[in-house]
Structure 1
Amino acid sequence: MSVHRSLHSLSIAGTLFLAAQANAADTGKVDETRQKKDQHNQKSTSAQHAQRDGVESQETERLTVTGRAFNIMHQSLGLSRMPQDVMHTPQTINVVPQELMRQQNVKSLDEALRDVPGVTSSIGEGAGGMNGDQFLIRGFQAQNDIYEDGLRDFGVYSRDSFNMETVSVIKGPSSEVFGNGTTGGAINMVTKAPTLTNRYAAEFSGGSGSYYRGTFDVNQKLNDSTAFRITGMGDEHNVVGRNYIFSHRWGVAPSITFGLGKRATLVLQYMHQQENSVPDFGVPVVTKPGAAYGQPITEYGIRRTNFYGTDSDQNATSDNMETARFTYKLNDHITFYDDLRGGQYYRTFAASKATCDTTCVNNYFMGDPAAALVARSGPNGAGNGQGGGTIQAPLPYEQQSWSVQNVASMVANFKTGFLKHQVVAGIDIERVNDERKQSTYLNPKPYASLVNPNPYVGNLNLVPGDSNPTGLVNLGGIGAKSGSNGYGFDTGLFLFDQIWFTDWLSVKGGFRWDRWQTTYNVTGGDVSKYPDKHFHDVSGVFNPNVSLVITPDAHQTYYFTWASSTTPMGMYVTNGSVPIRPGTNSFASPETAQLYEIGAKYSILHDRMGLSASLFRLDKGNALNADPVTGTLEGSSDKQRNQGLELSVGGVILPGWNISATYALYDSSTTASSTAKNIGKNVQYVPHNQATLWTAYNAFASKPYNLMIGGGVTWRQHVWLDAGNTLRAPANLDFSAVISHRFNEHWKISMNGYNLANRLNYQSLFSNRATPSAGRMFMGEVSFAY
């Protein structure tokens, strides 16, 4: 087919043109030789097969051509179960490429996803104290839908970018590929894997907020088919505009690949990341007397720097993942894959969430502001008329989790008569275990001043929960328990086939069947009052999907897709406070979702520019709601809908001038609810409009006085924080910029600026709190690559 021929000519006849574009984009003309070598050698890494004609195959594994880095239409997704590129996958897909992350000096997964419309960060806590990376896609929970190289990452931690090659957001239900979940979509990180080109690189950054960061990336060819790579990171910083918040983390990720360019390829990877930080649960959202809706208290004169936690708050994580990815090309038509991962996750967590009740609000707005006191989670001091002595979540806890997942799959290309097929089939088996031990404080947390909070509260006498059962949180329907443990075990079978009736018309359809088994146990505490309880649930789910795909030529694709997903109870084993519990209809009925989407994708101007547009409708039944006090996820009879338009453009406008832009228009509503007043209201966390823009120009790329300048803006309209639309976070508007200079083919300096207008934005949201984003910030960087 013509698409296949286009890829072939692009990788061979167009190499010089693309390399020249790459130099003009950012890397400098002096890098031309190294770029061409990388393109040649990366083709022979463990392959993903982009097969548009349904019969022949060509290896395009992780081919990153910087010249069209912002045009992601021919970007591989790094998933054997999704073997085609972005352009020929009938679904909305946003990719954050490596070059964009470099220009923006992206340091975490959270920062990378700010370039993707429809993704919102959630504080995501509760009785289990969940935090770390907690995202929503198109307004729906995606905390359990984070993947690395197509395998689920069960950890609850903040993911650093030091080992990320690209980040993709595959929007809409994708249960046929990923299994249970993916109501709003899935996030997949492609990691840095060994190649046959020796490379030694490092970056050193420093800037506002006592920011110090260093990374290294070493790739060494061992022989003609074996290579070793190791990446590492050390990061220490405070947060500009937020008092007492800091993060210290480090990580290392060695990997080795055997059989590069051979029929059989094995990639072995290990990742360790460790962090010690202070969790930031933000500021309370309050309703000013007489106001139509509530807003963060910082919208009413409270300083954005105010931290309502204590000096006992901490978030210490240690995370490990071991991965083996095997590829065997049987012949030109059939390729087998087997991906295996084990993970171990450890966490010690203690946080405080601020609550400003009616007395606090009245004192601040209509009385003496100095008398306005904020309750912190945990038992608070009595005698102030503000609910003293109550116990609120989250309590301190220790968490230990482990997981194993193996995905075995096959991609087969063949003909039956005049019909061409691409069949993907396989089995996905995973198990995740989790154990938590709650602790309590013997001493009450003193209330904090709303205006001038003091985090130094002294020794609160932290003890195991069983030593102080009266200090445990009642988990609602379960009781005050000191310990919990549970597991989830899933067996999934998937099969889908794309059938070409002509070179330009095909139908893709398939299904996945899953058997999800989960157990949750709560133990300890005062067992005479709250006996130990044990819950078990088994769900068998079937999720079909179908797409009509039209590809008139190599540069355009049109599609219609219908897909479904299911989220059974107990999915949130490691990152939910109460995975399953009786007394809710969620225990019996899983959350379901259906997607209807029509879209178009283009790669134009000799593949320098990529454009996409899609119209979608996403319906969700038995929606999960988060309790505003405990954060516990509970099922409901609510039905929700989000529909809208998404646009994106990326690529090279002129030699040396790159651009990446997105826009999303969402129309969301609760279509059915047992709470009548919520019907017709907007879905939580879904903005009506959202847009991103980033552009960079490299002037005089081949001259000693070369200069790359760029900048961008991200904008998100206000969002509602509760189902009744009584609380909302204001709009976000963030301006950023970069300037860099390359001394020679090896050394470069750059300066990035973030939130240049120093606006009060809110990045992480929850139903009654919001976390102010960092203020104006500058980061300088020195880097080299040999």
Structure 2
Amino acid sequence: MDATDEERLTVTGHGFNTMHDTLGLSRMPQDVMHTPQNINVVPQALMRQQNVKSLDEALRNVPGVTASIGEGAGGMNGDQFLIRGFQAQNDIYEDGLRDFGVYSRDSFNFDSVSVIKGPSSEVFGNGTTGGAINMVTKTPGLQNHYSSEFTGGSGSYYRGTLDINQKLDSSTAFRLTGMGDEHNVVGRDFIYSHRWGIAPSIAFGLGKRATLVLQYMHQQENSVPDFGVPVVTKPGASYGMPITEYGVKRTNWYGTNNDQNATNDNMETARFTYKVNDHITIYDDLRGGQYYRTFAASKATCDTTCVNNYFNGDPAAALVARSGPSGAGNGTGPGTYMAPLPYEQKSWSVQNVASMVANFNTGFLRHQLVAGFDIERVNDVRSQSTYLNPKPYASLVNPNPYVGNLNLVPGDSNPGGLVSLGALHAKDHSSGYGFDTGLFLFDQIWLTKWLSVKGGFRWDRWQTSYNLTGGDVAKNPDSHFHDVSGVFNPNVSLVATPDEHQTYYFTWASSTTPMGMYVTNGSVPIRPGTNSFASPEKSQLYELGAKYSLFHDRIGATASLFRLDKGNTMNADPVTGEVQGSSDRQRNQGLELSVGGIILPGWNITATYALYDSDTTYSATKANRGKNVQYVPHNQATLWSVYNAFAHTPYNISFGGGVTWRQHVWLNTANTLRAPANLDFSAVISHRFDRHWKVSMNGYNLANRLNYQSLFSNRATPSAGRMFLGEVSFTY
């Protein structure tokens, strides 16, 4: 898609000015402009210029979103995101329905990606402390088109996508999207990903009062997990940094040839819309999901002996342990048996959201009422395995992944090899479920033509169960936990719209995250103790914002000031992965700005900036009070711009690029470990032969800078090095 095409689309409410984009879910019927909350949209036009290939890549355009890597005995991986510094791995949605899978989401079926900032429990239910991520998928339309893209380049990158839309009759259409992707990671040894996916869909009743869309998505991947490099504190330094900041090669990978990440994810969706009359529309969205995973990973620990050997003149003697909380010391013994241990995971989910949107008047007051119910159930079963042979220690400087066969066996046949999770003991089998019933109601009332009040609530009944069985039952009896709780989350907004091109708002919103929320994507969803269920995590948002659509809808701009307070903070133990409730209170407040659109014919721009001021306002650990919140940078910005020169001529050329920047972040609550700033330059150049054929070249991390993509409390994963990808695409 050229910038000239995007300009035409912008006028109709798409392209780079996303102010008039809908959010793709019935519970939020207004467009971005008139929704009283800060929303960042990554549109299709931007993803195609950047050759975005995954959800992670799309979200690099959104300030305040950070990728993190899972932790603990289960060693969770897949898409693990933080929004404004707060966990969001359970707040990923597709077309407004929760995606419970633990996998790396490819973008082949994305039409756009939205990040709805701040607590939104009144819409989504439990969770959404920092916000929610919603992927809008490609669905059938009544205009035939056929397109395909072929990509190749650095890191043995090979990728192909297919998108076919076929009109079947005047109100029925079929669409098929598919993807195959195989690549290594530039600048990281032994890391690769092989995945493929397919997503057929069919729509009935397009343009009619009743519309039904049926969708299926299958994605399968075989890859090697990358848990990064250890963060160490150099003797005499006041804080720790990734070991790659001190001369260790960025290519070093501390895993073994036994590590693997095999996922198989399936979702079936039915979305029904019925327009009763000009005032009332009814929606019903139903989804079932099945998720399968086989996982084995390693994490490097560099202890005091390792650090001293490396920095005090004997780097060859510096050894790391590939598992467990302790390091290798002087290398005595054969190695370690500890976490993360391999496991198999089988999960399924079902969710149904029914809602009604009613537009009506009571006297001189105009209303838009949204009401409905949300029922979801998710089940998870995991079987832990153990190694009969230990993982050998690795050289910090020159690690060797080829450690031979570690003799993987089921955990119940080797109870002594299981990892003890504190009060949860050592168990090889876990199962759990979450069952949520939610009722929601909110009404926007226009007091005048330009001034309105929006308020509402959601009530949830959250039921959860978690069972730990197997292992040495005589020594460690089986454990069973169960809880039922009711949660009420209100919200209110004051909205002023002087005209169709500007909106001003103030919003107060709340959210609740009960213990046991992370059924499929937490290493250990709960732990016993007085705070396990009694103290859910609660957050409140205060936000003042403005949104504009300027220059005949060519440019969209937003500005927001916010304060986000979170109490009873949940933390994951960096060794065991136990999710623990605490009495800590945290605050993140700041300013967020964005602009996007067409500056001049053929010239598009997208830019964002965020200024954050975060701190721990209370902690039982007095030394942590006043410290910055983990993973929250003080400043963050993105810029992307492309110009299409000599459009509609044989020698047309589009060229441009951008930069993403994130200031350093602290990795722990004590602010003693940190990841350096990220700075990434990228560029694109393309040429269109005619209306159908196009060639392009994208460059990423052009400065080959050592950046860090995934973060956790004691490790960081180096981002890919400089890479170039060429693409040939055709559309008919």
Q: TM-score, normalised by structure 2?
A: 0.98
* Map of 2:513 onto structure 1: 567
The letter of the residue matching 1:566 is T
Instruction: Report the secondary structure of 1:651's partner residue.
Output: strand
Instruction: Report the secondary structure of 1:326's partner residue.
Output: strand
Instruction: Report the secondary structure of 1:244's partner residue.
Output: coil
Match of 1:79 among 9, 25, 46: 25
* Map of 1:466 onto structure 2: 412
Match of 2:257 among 294, 305, 311: 311
Q: CA deviation at 1:390?
A: 5.2
Change (3 A) 1:584 1:747: farther
Confirm whether residue 760 of structure 1 aligns to residue 701 of structure 2: no
Alignment of 1:545-564 (within 5 A): 545-564=491-510
Confirm whether residue 393 of structure 1 aligns to residue 339 of structure 2: yes
Instruction: Report the secondary structure of 1:606's partner residue.
Output: coil
Instruction: Report the secondary structure of 2:56's partner residue.
Output: helix
Match of 1:355 among 267, 280, 301: 301
- Give the distance between the partners of 2:13 and 2:367, measured in 1 at CA: 33
* Map of 2:384 onto structure 1: 438
Q: CA deviation at 1:389?
A: 5.9
* Map of 1:346 onto structure 2: 292
- Give the distance between the partners of 2:573 and 2:268, measured in 1 at CA: 35
* Map of 1:48 onto structure 2: none
Query: Deviations 1:405-444 (Å, cap 9, x if unpaired)?
Result: 0000000000000000000000000000000000000001
Structure 2 unaligned segments of length 5 or more: list them.
Answer: none
Bigger CA drift: 378-387 or 578-587?
Answer: 378-387
* Map of 2:362 onto structure 1: 416
Q: CA deviation at 1:476?
A: 1.6
Q: CA deviation at 1:249?
A: 0.0
Instruction: Report the secondary structure of 1:355's partner residue.
Output: coil
Q: CA deviation at 1:125?
A: 2.2
Confirm whether residue 69 of structure 1 aligns to residue 48 of structure 2: no
- Give the distance between the partners of 1:648 and 1:317, measured in 2 at CA: 36
* Map of 1:138 onto structure 2: 84
Confirm whether residue 785 of structure 1 aligns to residue 725 of structure 2: no
Match of 2:550 among 576, 581, 604: 604
Confirm whether residue 183 of structure 1 aligns to residue 183 of structure 2: no
Query: Deviations 1:433-492 (Å, cap 9, x if unpaired)?
Result: 000000000001100000000000001000000111111011121100000000000000
The letter of the residue matching 1:211 is Y
* Map of 1:687 onto structure 2: 633
Bigger CA drift: 484-493 or 573-582?
Answer: 573-582
* Map of 2:248 onto structure 1: 302
The letter of the residue matching 1:170 is I
* Map of 2:456 onto structure 1: 510
Confirm whether residue 195 of structure 1 aligns to residue 141 of structure 2: yes
Confirm whether residue 532 of structure 1 aligns to residue 478 of structure 2: yes
* Map of 2:200 onto structure 1: 254
* Map of 1:744 onto structure 2: 690
* Map of 2:41 onto structure 1: 95
- Give the distance between the partners of 2:532 and 2:497, measured in 1 at CA: 42
Alignment of 1:610-649 (within 5 A): 610-649=556-595
- Give the distance between the partners of 2:12 and 2:459, measured in 1 at CA: 39
- Give the distance between the partners of 2:262 and 2:582, measured in 1 at CA: 34
Confirm whether residue 227 of structure 1 aligns to residue 167 of structure 2: no
Confirm whether residue 105 of structure 1 aligns to residue 68 of structure 2: no
The letter of the residue matching 1:613 is A
Q: CA deviation at 1:382?
A: 8.3
The letter of the residue matching 1:25 is T
| Contact 1:381–1:445 (CA under 8 A) maintained in structure 2 | no
Confirm whether residue 447 of structure 1 aligns to residue 426 of structure 2: no
Change (3 A) 1:206 1:231: same
Confirm whether residue 321 of structure 1 aligns to residue 267 of structure 2: yes
| Contact 1:204–1:213 (CA under 8 A) maintained in structure 2 | yes
Instruction: Report the secondary structure of 1:696's partner residue.
Output: strand
Instruction: Report the secondary structure of 1:477's partner residue.
Output: helix
- Give the distance between the partners of 1:489 and 1:468, measured in 2 at CA: 33
Structure 1 unaligned segments of length 5 or more: list them.
Answer: 1-21, 36-63
Query: Deviations 1:278-328 (Å, cap 9, x if unpaired)?
Result: 000000000000001000000000000000000000000000000000000
The letter of the residue matching 1:431 is R
Q: CA deviation at 1:67?
A: 8.2
| Contact 1:380–1:445 (CA under 8 A) maintained in structure 2 | no
Q: CA deviation at 1:175?
A: 0.3
- Give the distance between the partners of 1:661 and 1:382, measured in 2 at CA: 46
* Map of 2:232 onto structure 1: 286
| Contact 1:617–1:643 (CA under 8 A) maintained in structure 2 | yes
The letter of the residue matching 2:602 is G
- Give the distance between the partners of 1:180 and 1:433, measured in 2 at CA: 17
* Map of 2:114 onto structure 1: 168
Instruction: Report the secondary structure of 2:443's partner residue.
Output: strand
* Map of 2:598 onto structure 1: 652
The letter of the residue matching 1:484 is S
- Give the distance between the partners of 2:103 and 2:70, measured in 1 at CA: 12
Alignment of 1:14-93 (within 5 A): 24-25=3-4, 69-93=15-39
Confirm whether residue 218 of structure 1 aligns to residue 197 of structure 2: no
Query: Deviations 1:626-684 (Å, cap 9, x if unpaired)?
Result: 21222332111100000000000000000000000000000000000000000000000
Q: CA deviation at 1:581?
A: 1.8
* Map of 1:238 onto structure 2: 184
* Map of 2:651 onto structure 1: 705
The letter of the residue matching 1:345 is Y
Change (3 A) 1:462 1:24: closer
The letter of the residue matching 1:493 is L
* Map of 1:714 onto structure 2: 660
Confirm whether residue 427 of structure 1 aligns to residue 390 of structure 2: no
Change (3 A) 1:619 1:379: closer
Q: CA deviation at 1:578?
A: 1.4
Confirm whether residue 159 of structure 1 aligns to residue 105 of structure 2: yes
Query: Deviations 1:677-735 (Å, cap 9, x if unpaired)?
Result: 00000000000000000000001111011000010000000000000000000000000
| Contact 1:118–1:137 (CA under 8 A) maintained in structure 2 | yes
Change (3 A) 1:611 1:389: same
Q: CA deviation at 1:579?
A: 1.1
- Give the distance between the partners of 1:559 and 1:24, measured in 2 at CA: 32
| Contact 2:69–2:227 (CA under 8 A) maintained in structure 1 | yes
The letter of the residue matching 1:438 is Q
The letter of the residue matching 1:375 is A
- Give the distance between the partners of 2:370 and 2:531, measured in 1 at CA: 35
- Give the distance between the partners of 1:744 and 1:295, measured in 2 at CA: 51
Change (3 A) 1:381 1:414: closer
Q: CA deviation at 1:586?
A: 3.5
- Give the distance between the partners of 1:771 and 1:130, measured in 2 at CA: 15
Match of 1:150 among 96, 118, 121: 96
- Give the distance between the partners of 2:670 and 2:550, measured in 1 at CA: 45
- Give the distance between the partners of 2:516 and 2:327, measured in 1 at CA: 36
Q: How many residues align?
A: 732
Instruction: Report the secondary structure of 2:416's partner residue.
Output: helix
Change (3 A) 1:604 1:382: closer
